[in-house]
Amino acid sequence: MSGPAPADAPPAKAHRRAGWHTATVTDSRPETPTARRIAFEVPTWPGNDAGSHLDVRLTAPDGYQATRSYSIASSGEGTRVLLAVDELPDGEVSPFLVHDLREGDQVEMHGPLGAYFVWTPPPAGEPSRPVQLIAGGSGVVPLFAMARAHAEADDATEFRLLYSARTPQDVFFRAELEQLTAAAPALWLDFVYTRQVPEGWPTGPGRITREVLDAATLPAASDPLVFVCGPTPFVETVAGWLVESGHRPGSVRTERFGGS
Amino acid sequence: MSFITRGFSGRRGDRDPRLPPGQTLVADWPVLSAGPTPHVDTADWEFSIRTENGVHRWSWDELRALGVEDITTDIHCVTHWSKLEMPWRGVPLDKIWKSVQTEHEYVMAHSYGGYTTNLPLEDLLDGKSWVAFEADGEPLDPEHGGPARLLVPHLYFWKSAKWVRGLVTMPDDDPGFWEQNGYHLHGDPWLEERYW
Ligand SMILES: Cc1cc2nc3c(=O)[nH]c(=O)nc-3n(C[C@H](O)[C@H](O)[C@H](O)COP(=O)(O)OP(=O)(O)OC[C@H]3O[C@@H](n4cnc5c(N)ncnc54)[C@H](O)[C@@H]3O)c2cc1C
């Protein structure tokens, strides 16, 4: 047994050091019927790579605390941090963030976190590896940050996003995503709807299948870097199929949002 | 620096004293991994320990023959969930380590699929760790690290390497996979050693 690092592990790079921050809500608006987009001003934020996440900590008057991880929908330098939170109806933290948190409120944040499920543009002049993004539900949040960072960097890497949502109304960042598909360099965007399709949609609603996955993603032969994010069963299924279709396991990066 | 969040009361006024700071009790068993789940057949499975003095190897049956134990333990994931009093079965590392000689004080755990995590030897010996192959009375699912994973319950759960295939001793504490990606070198949940 030899002991090198995993073949596709990124080189150890300089981290933006994670720390605790006080974040103030500057804007909060409905994102979908069950989710909310919340913008924070975080004066001490060191910036973050596209795809990284942070921990939100809430404290009750009796000292009770609850902490949950959220992907960051924004990236780059700057002190504005954007989250998009989907409500888990029987959850402890997400219903509070979706329904009760309003402009001017403060929470504690720890981050930025994660140096693996991130995308940064390749240095100028270096060959870029095509990127396939695959999202289930709120799992689109870190992938949206990557797609936007790619467009903002005016980077030539080929980007494609396959996005599974319950219904057309449940799509996060729809306007921004569609703008990105019109921009150059383009994002190629494909949708799967599990419960209700838009009018005139060629197929009925249904979960992603192996065939849809193969047809709507970059082929293994083009050796893309693949980011898959969503609920555990979604990620488990999709990542398994990708490997069966010839993608190298080390090229498939996953982030599971826990639960199901 | 904590301050009260306006309007937040939380679900549980009373915290279970068995929960380390920042942890929440879950009923199910969430999954967190960096990539696709490797599928390893026990017929092909092998466990090895490599030191500066050589390599030791065990097949699936040889390892189990060293002596299986039942363990009931709490587990704590760095993503803030914990499970309490979870039943496990595995072979204590103490039994596996009996034939091993090394001057080294650290190990790197290696997994099928290429993942690694670093541990001080003193966090593995004296009844502190197992190579586990059952949880909740069932063989470990591949998504939870089956056929076998390391079980080091007193550290955050990413140290309990899924799909474990061996340990390599090291003179110094070098970071493994998650540790290179921002997680703490040691990972004690009671000290909240989550990230560096
Ligand atoms: C790296 C990371 C990034 C995330 N990013 C986002 C995001 O951008 N947007 C978003 O809406 N959500 C995100 N999540 C999920 C989020 O952290 C919370 O799990 C979710 O908001 C539910 O929290 P809650 O307190 O409302 O529910 P809880 O009270 O924690 O959950 C109720 C039940 O749901 C299950 N459950 C659901 N998720 C989890 C989990 N992660 N860990 C353990 N149990 C779980 C458990 O069975 C639990 O008992 C992310 C999770 C991770 C790990």
Q: Could you report the per-residue pLDDT of B19-35, keeping only the tens digit for each?
A: 999 898 888 888 888 88
Q: Considering chain B, what is the average pLDDT of its residues?
A: 93
Contact call for B166 and A1, based on CB within 8 A: yes
The phi, psi pair for A54, rounded to 5°, reads -145, 165
CA proximity to A237, closest of A228, A224, A246: A228
Residue B182 confidence (pLDDT):
85
- Name the residue of chain A whose CA is nearest to B176's CA: A5
* Residue B110 touches partner A, C-beta closer than 8 Å: yes
Quick check: B91 pLDDT over 60? yes
Residue B28 confidence (pLDDT):
86
Determine the distance in angstroms separating the CA of A170 from the nearest CA of chain B, rounded to an integer: 24
In this structure, what token pair is assigned to residue A35? Answer: 């989710």
CA of A124 to the centre of ligand 1 (A): 37
Quick check: A12 pLDDT over 60? no
Interval B49-75 mean pLDDT: 97
- The string of pLDDT tens digits covering residues B105-119 is 999 999 999 999 999
Distance (Å, whole) CA A68 – CA A23: 15
Interval B71-88 mean pLDDT: 95
Q: Which residues line ligand 1 (CB under 6 A)?
A: A 53, 68-71, 84-86, 88, 90-94, 138, 141, 255, 257-259; B 24, 26-28, 30, 79, 81
Alpha-helical segments (H) within A101-224? 140-152, 174-182, 210-215
* Residue A43 touches partner B, C-beta closer than 8 Å: no
Indicate the pTM of the whole model. Answer: 0.88
Interval A116-133 mean pLDDT: 90
Residue A124 confidence (pLDDT):
80
Percent of chain A with pLDDT over 90: 81
> How does A148-165 read in b/e, with b if 16+ C-beta sit within 10 Å?
bbbbebebebbbbbbbbb
Residue A5 confidence (pLDDT):
38
Residue A15 confidence (pLDDT):
61
Helix, strand, or coil (residue A200):
coil
Q: Considering chain A, what is the average pLDDT of its residues?
A: 91
Percent of chain A with pLDDT over 70: 93
Distance (Å, whole) CA B167 – CA B56: 10
Residue B29 confidence (pLDDT):
87
Interval B69-84 mean pLDDT: 95
Distance (Å, whole) CA A67 – CA B21: 10
Which residues from chain B sit within 8 angstroms of residue A243, using beta carbons?
Answer: 36
DSSP letter for A234, please.
H
Listed range (A1-5, A16-20, B116-120, B142-146) with the worst mean pLDDT: A1-5
Residue B1 confidence (pLDDT):
59
